[in-house]
Structures are given as C-alpha cells and as structure tokens.
Structure 1
Amino acid sequence: MKAETIKGDSSEEIQEKLTQCLDGGYSPSLAIVFMSIKQNIEAVCDILHRQDIQIFGATSSGEFISSDIQEESITIMLLDMNPAHFRLLFLEAVNHNEYDIARQLGEQGKNFFENAGFILLSGWSNHMDGEDIIKGLDEGFGGNATIFGGMAGDDQMLTGPKVFTQGRSSVTGILALIIDQDKINLSGVATCGWKPIGIAKTITKSKGNVVYTIDDQPALDLVMKYLGLSLSDEPMNNTVFSLGAYYPLQLEREGAPAVMRTAMLGNTEDRSLVCAGKIPQGAKVRFSLPPDFDVIDTVVEECTAVKEEQLEQADSVIMFSCISRYLSFGVMTSEEISRVSEVWQTPMIGFFSYGEYGRSKGGKHEFHNNTCCVLALREK
C-alpha cells in the first residue's frame, strides 16, 4: 500500500498538488483529511470526489505532515488501499445517544468484516461523550474491538468541530474507517508520558465530566492554588473561562494505567471544573508534573515497542495528538512529532484533537485526554 501526502493553504492549492500527484499514474482510493474549520470543506471534498477518492476527514486545531506543523491549513494523506479492504460509515449522534449510535457502528463493522478494526473521528460538543462511544462500539462489536482515533478540533474556538466525508459533515457526527484486519495490520498505542506528582486526591462531588469538589474543596479553587494562579490572572468575559493546557489530572484505576483528564474550563459561579472526559465521584486523581523531554522519551519508547513487538514495517502512520499537548509543550511539540515519525520512517499525518481513542500500554482501548495516539498501518 502506497501513501502520499499533500498540503495547502487553500482548496485551489490542494487541487494543484493533487493533480501533480496523480499525473505520475498514482491512483489512490482513500484520502485522510485533517484541515482547519476556516477552510472550505465542501470544495476539498468535491476535488477528491471527482477523482473517485473516498474521504475520511475532520476539522483540527492544527495539523501536521511528519513534523511540519501547520495552522489553518489543509493536510491530506492519500492511500491506494484496496477498496474491498475498508468501509466508511458516517452516523449522526444527537440527543445524547452516542452510545446507541456507536453500538450500531460496532454491529455494522462486524457485519462488514469478521476481524474489523475501527479508526474513529468524532465531532465535539458539550454532550459528545468519548467514553460512551468506546463502550457502545465495543459492545456492538462483541468485545475486544480495535479502536483508534480522535475528536475533531476547531482551531481552539470550541464552537463547532466537525467530521466529514463526501456530502456529509456534522459537529455531532461519528465517522468510522472500518478496516479488514485480515488484510491490513493496525498496530498502535495511546501514550502520554506525563509524570504524576503529590498524593492522590479524591473526587468528592462530580457529575459526568463536571467536577465540583476535590477532597471536599471547590475543584476550581484547588486547581488554581496548585497552579499558583489567581482569577485575576485570567481574562474573563463571563463566568466560564478556559484553563487551556494547564497540567492535567491523572485518573487512577485499579489494575490499569492512569488515564489523563484535562480540565478545560472553570466556572467561577459554582467553582467547578469542566473536564474533557468523565471523572466519577469517588475516583482518585493526581496532578501532573510540567512536561519536559522525559515525556517525549517515554512516548518514543512506547512507539518503538510497538514497532519491535507488533509491526516492524509500516506503510503509513496516523497520529492523533491532544491540543493540550501542543499548548503545553510549545516548541517541544515538533520534537515529539519528529521523533515519532522517525520510528517507522514512513509517511505520517496527524492533527491536534479534543480527545483521543486508543489503547495504552498494558491497558485497553478507551477514551483519553492530553495523550498522543499513534497508529501504524501495513498491508499484509
């Protein structure tokens, strides 16, 4: 399976780059598209559709090919994957029914391929629940489903990230690239590298992804104190303000690695935190150390383990990296992406997401925050 990547700052530039790519006789069947919501989604889809190329796409909060990070641009990976070895399925999750929709997705994937693997893109809104998507899909599939992917971004505006394919796009959509794993090998890992600090604290009041108290103290006040911040440090136009990429919480679980939960918003009225994933009442959490190059080393080591133990060679690599990592790491982000790219030394595409789907080392497939999910593909 051959992979080619192209990028541009407009649909016109993409048309030019695609024409050049196809002039050499290359005939791709699938396009993985990560692009700014400020770009013309319909125009890009029409360009690809006219060449009979199927589209698996999401808006992003920054996109990259190898270590070349772009913003407000269009990036595309073209694959000449045998059309008999994959299916695209777009479903709409509205009225808080993402669990039911994902369950349907798992059932249909099983009908397509007995040994199906799922690469997911989901929209992002206040009610989209990544954990319910994972649970529903896995149950519909019958257990032990292979699931990797990410939640769409929207250049950090938090207004309307979308997933899209030809003729369809939605902020509440779930788009699945369903792969026949008897024909295409999918191997990957969800890895973060963040180190915990301090003693475990207890979530004493929460509901879904909203945390009200930690150790019986207002959650917002405790986090602000830990960060050494005061509310006067934050520009506020209303009662809710962004906590950006401040140090994430590590949600501890018995018998499994901790999973990251990013505190995205703070509410100054009820002193609560709005996190990017569920944190159950009674759960234990720890804060994280500021990122350094040790974090990157851990990520690279875990990717290298996948290469050595699961997939020595890859035709292409996809990386779903949390926007919080980009904001936290700053200039180190290119270093992380570059070193991951060097593991397989093959074409790589990725974007900065609002949540990640994947399996951590020693864990299971689940929903993550502040994590990078790396997936390698190889035709058998």
Structure 2
Amino acid sequence: MQIKTYLFKNGYWDNQLDEGMDSDNTLVIMFGSTNVLKVKNGIDDIVKTFPRATIVGSSTSGEIYGSEIFHDSLSVSVVHFYKSSFKVLVKEISERNSYDVGKEIVSDFPKENLKSIFLLANVLNVNGSELTKGLSTNIPNECVITGGLAGDGVEFNKTWIILNSQLMKKQIISVGLYGSDLRVEYGCKCGWSRFGLDRKVTYSQDNILYTLDNKPALELYKKYLGPYADQLPASGLYFPLMLLEDGSEEPTLRAIKAIDEEKNSITLAASIPQNSIVTFAKANLDELIMGAQEAAERLIRNYDGKQKALCIAINCIARKIVLKQEAEDEIEVVHDTLGQNVSTIGFYSYGEISKVDSGGCNFHNQSMTLMLMYELEYYD
C-alpha cells in the first residue's frame, strides 16, 4: 500500500503530484473549500494526473492536513493498494429515505472480505441518525463503518461532494474496502463532561424534543444553563445533549440547532428516540483535547507502527468553534499519538459516523472520529 498526501493552497501544491501512483486500484480522497473557484485548479490537476484512479471527496468547514488546520485549500491523499481493493456506490438520498438508503448500501456491497465502508454525504439532505440505523442492519460485525457529512462553515448552502470530476449535492458516496491483508481501525470520542441528572425523553418527534421527565424540555434546559440561557440558541453549542445508549461504549451527542419558545421545545441535529435516557453536557477544553487523544489511542491499539498507514480525521465544526485558538492542539495531539508512519488528512463536518463496539455504527455530533487503514506487511 503506497500512500502520499498533498496540500493545495493559494494556487500551489506543497509537493509535485506523483503520476506514477495512478492505477485502476488507486483511491484519491480529497477534502476542500466550499469556494470551488479557489480549489478548481487543484481538482483539475488531480483529475488530470490520476485519470485511472477513483476520486472521492467533500467540502469542509476546515481542512486537516498533517497536524495543521487550513481553509480554502485541498487536503488530498492518494492511496495505491497493492493487495486490497475497493468498490464505490453512489445513491440519491434525502431525509425521508435515509434509513432505506442505508439498508441498500449494506445490501449492495458484497460481504466477503469487506473490511470497511467509508461514506460522504451532504448535510442538507441526510438524516444522519436514520442513515446509520439503516447501515447497521445485517452488516458484518467486523466491518468498520465511518464517514461524515460535508460542511460549509455556517452557511448551509454551499456543500458538495465529488466523484471523479463530478460535483454532487443530492447523493451519498460509499467506498467499500476489501482485502484479507487490509486492516481498518476506528476511534471516536466526544470529550464532553456530563452534568445534571439523567432524564427520560417522554415526548419527542424525530429531532424535536418536547418533554423530559414530563417537563417542558426548553424550560428545563434553560434552568440548567443559568446565565447562558439568554444566549440561546448560540450558547447551545457549548451545552449539547448527551444520549446514553445501551451497548455503546461512547455516549452520543446531539447538537442543539434551534429552540421554539412558543412550544417550549428544542430542535436537535438528529433524531432523539422517545423513552431514551439523556443528560446535559458541557465543554471543558482540556477534556476535549484529551478526548481526541483517547480516540487516537483507540485507533492504534492493534497497530504496531511499522506499516505505512492513512488516518482520516472527521471532526465536528462545533469543536473547532468551542476550542477557538486551541483547535489545532487536538489535531496535533492526534498526529503525535499516531506516530511517524501515519499520514493524516481530514475535515470539519456537520455530523460524524463511526462504528460502535457492539456492531453497526452510530451518528455523532460534536465528536472526533478517526479511521486508520493499512495493509499488512510481513517482516523476517
């Protein structure tokens, strides 16, 4: 497995593109600016240099390259598989059919030696929690599912995903990775602290939360926020809801998107099941960075550090906003934890998808999600 990473910034590449890596078994992954004009020449260079390769990618709320964060750039990885292979599916998706599309993706991929499914979709037309429910049906337990929803800062209208030279908005791209010598690992941590009592969701509809313990959800939420309540919904970024699910090693966060004073309700970034148990969460900068480190440590617990590997980091835009000047610190701690043989690219997203230990996958908000892939090499 040969891996090279590149950064396109201000019209220039940091290194010359290696056309010798082009093949039918080469996968190019790119994450880039929502302002396509700023990266169009870079995309054109990739398409021209790797005509036989398969190219996938998405827009971002910030590009991750190595240990740094960039904007209005392209963060690119070129992977030439020696012993493994991949298959790509593209499907139209909407909020209404997200569950069914998830089931179709799992059904359409051949299962023999399927090690991982990596997904990219547009935040504007996907119900992330329903998608992951569909993906979790009949998936082999050992299959690692990861991915994210394309971001565009805070505008929610310029997102894109790409397959080869075609920009798309209403599709989901799925990459199935195959091979007996291929290894794929995952790590996902939120790093947010829970506070307050556990509460039962007594009335909800899809992603709208009406009551907790039969009390108006917004009224209760404001009580916990205290002086921050007057700054809603903006302050909700710092106080997400934590969903406590049975069988999940990592709690699932639900970001606060909006509030309705008249209905005393809270609109979340994904579905919130009725009768589920939740609590409130708060940001602690040191714990957020520690969470990123724990995700990286989880990622390499079966990796000996000898093989060349690629890490794809999908981080939530909310963490970047909350951490501010310290946002790069959590990228640096991931980079340092993974070691010198791991190349890292990634992006800031509007929702993260990660495998759970009990099988299947889950949809996250405000979490750091990592994927590591490499081919086994045998040493004397």
Mapped to 2, the partners of 1:309 and 1:90 lie a distance apart of 31
- With structure 2 as the length reference, what TM-score do the two structures score? 0.86
Mapped to 2, the partners of 1:336 and 1:211 lie a distance apart of 31
**1:156 matched to 2:154:** yes
| Residue-by-residue CA offset, 1:68-116 (whole Å, 9 max, x unaligned) | 11123221122223496112222111372122222222122226x5424
**1:187 matched to 2:185:** yes
Mapped to 2, the partners of 1:86 and 1:245 lie a distance apart of 37
Change (3 A) 1:9 1:163: same
Q: Percent identity?
A: 25
SS in structure 2 at match of 1:104: helix
SS in structure 2 at match of 1:347: strand
Mapped to 2, the partners of 1:349 and 1:366 lie a distance apart of 22
Mapped to 2, the partners of 1:176 and 1:336 lie a distance apart of 27
Amino acid of the structure 2 residue aligned with 1:252: L
Q: Aligned-residue CA RMSD in angstroms?
A: 2.7
Shift of 1:123: 1.1
**1:134 matched to 2:127:** no
Structure 2 partner of 1:237:
none
Deviates more, 1:218-227 or 1:70-79: 218-227
Shift of 1:371: 0.8
Of 263, 284, 294, 2:277 maps to 284
Mapped to 1, the partners of 2:33 and 2:107 lie a distance apart of 32
Structure 2 partner of 1:105:
105
Shift of 1:121: 1.0
Structure 1 partner of 2:309:
315
CA contact (8 A) 2:95 2:126 kept: no
SS in structure 2 at match of 1:158: coil
Mapped to 1, the partners of 2:310 and 2:216 lie a distance apart of 46
5+ residue gaps in structure 1? 235-240
Q: 1:118-267 residue pairs with structure 2 within 5 A?
A: 118-125=117-124, 128-139=126-137, 141=139, 145-229=143-227, 233=231, 242=234, 245-257=237-249, 258-267=251-260
SS in structure 1 at match of 2:284: coil
Paired residues, what number?
367
Mapped to 2, the partners of 1:361 and 1:137 lie a distance apart of 15
Shift of 1:50: 1.7
CA contact (8 A) 1:242 1:266 kept: no
Amino acid of the structure 1 residue aligned with 2:245: R
Structure 2 partner of 1:373:
369
Structure 1 partner of 2:32:
35
Structure 1 partner of 2:264:
271
Of 347, 353, 359, 1:357 maps to 353
| Residue-by-residue CA offset, 1:8-39 (whole Å, 9 max, x unaligned) | 335x425xx56x2327x554722211112112
Of 322, 325, 330, 2:324 maps to 330
Mapped to 1, the partners of 2:375 and 2:69 lie a distance apart of 27
Mapped to 2, the partners of 1:272 and 1:86 lie a distance apart of 44
Deviates more, 1:347-356 or 1:336-345: 336-345
Deviates more, 1:241-250 or 1:89-98: 241-250
5+ residue gaps in structure 2? none
Deviates more, 1:347-356 or 1:278-287: 278-287
Amino acid of the structure 2 residue aligned with 1:347: S
SS in structure 1 at match of 2:301: helix
Structure 2 partner of 1:22:
18
